[in-house]
């Protein structure tokens, strides 16, 4: 497999949880990591952790749901680095509840961050990949993007849209050297549940959740494949004994 030495990687939602772990693992594999998040304090810490490992990192504040911010940050990154090799669309938000329990503002936010944020970031960075006919887009989706669940209907809706986008974009780029892939993990031990307005599974049922390190290993598996191999989709599930 190819290593990631000197690859330039942008990771959204990189402040904590899976996004931070993917950033750390990319750096451990020799990539130059650019952490993107709307919470500056978190990505500063992530940058420092990577630099303490002896690797290179940079960071930019950005709310991926705001297209103007995305385009501005992408321009700054591309002006500085001239290219990116890897885009990991990880930023996401979750509000717990059925269709009747989630209000319209929460529904709008999930669509804006989970769906449109992924589209905005890809649209901002993909043209530079197309110019070089090289690069990789990895979307962090969720099993909610392939299995409908009435317990969180609108979150499922936002993630199914990302699945459709990922598959269609992969087909659109089928005759190029650009890879488009996605991972579909079940619940991960992150802060997403604490901020959801519903059950905090990290406290109530921690044994049902996956460690971000384990999920990140799968992301690395995808990103380290040879140029002619695209692992387009991997579902990741917790085995409970």
Q: Which residues are catalytic?
A: 155
CB 211 within 8 A of CB 189: yes
Helices (H) and strands (E) in the chain, counts: 8, 7
**Which residues are CB-contacts of 202 (< 8 A; sequence separation ≥ 6)?**
189, 190, 191, 193, 194, 209
Look at the block and give the residue holding tokens 């509840």. Answer: 97
Nearest to 122 by CA among 136, 108, 112: 136
**What DSSP letter does each residue of 25-75 carry, written as one string?**
HHHHTT-EEEEEES-HHHHHHHHHHHHHTT--EEEEE--TT-HHHHHHHHH
């Amino acid at each position: 497999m190819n290593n990631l030495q000197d690859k330039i990687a942008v990771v959204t939602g990189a402040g904590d949880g899976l996004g931070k772990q993917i950033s750390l693992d990319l750096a451990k594999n020799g990539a130059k990591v650019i952490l993107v998040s709307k919470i500056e304090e978190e990505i500063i810490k992530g940058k420092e952790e990577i630099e303490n490992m002896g690797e290179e990192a940079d960071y930019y504040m950005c709310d991926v749901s705001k297209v103007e911010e995305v385009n501005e940050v992408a321009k700054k990154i591309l002006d500085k680095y001239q290219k990116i090799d890897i885009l990991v669309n990880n930023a996401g938000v979750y509000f717990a509840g059925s269709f009747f329990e989630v209000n319209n503002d929460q529904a709008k936010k999930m669509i804006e961050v989970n769906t449109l944020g992924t589209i905005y970031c890809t649209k901002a960075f993909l043209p530079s990949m197309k110019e070089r006919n090289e690069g990789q887009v990895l979307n962090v989706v969720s099993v909610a993007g392939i299995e409908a669940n009435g317990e969180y209907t609108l979150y499922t809706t936002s993630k199914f849209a990302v699945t459709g986008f990922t598959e269609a974009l992969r087909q659109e780029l089928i005759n190029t050297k650009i890879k488009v892939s996605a991972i579909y993990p079940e619940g991960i031990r992150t802060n997403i549940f604490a901020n959801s307005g519903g059950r905090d599974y990290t406290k109530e049922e921690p044994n049902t959740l996956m460690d971000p390190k384990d999920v990140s290993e799968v992301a690395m598996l995808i990103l380290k494949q040879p140029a002619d191999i695209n692992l387009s989709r991997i579902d990741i599930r917790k085995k409970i004994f």
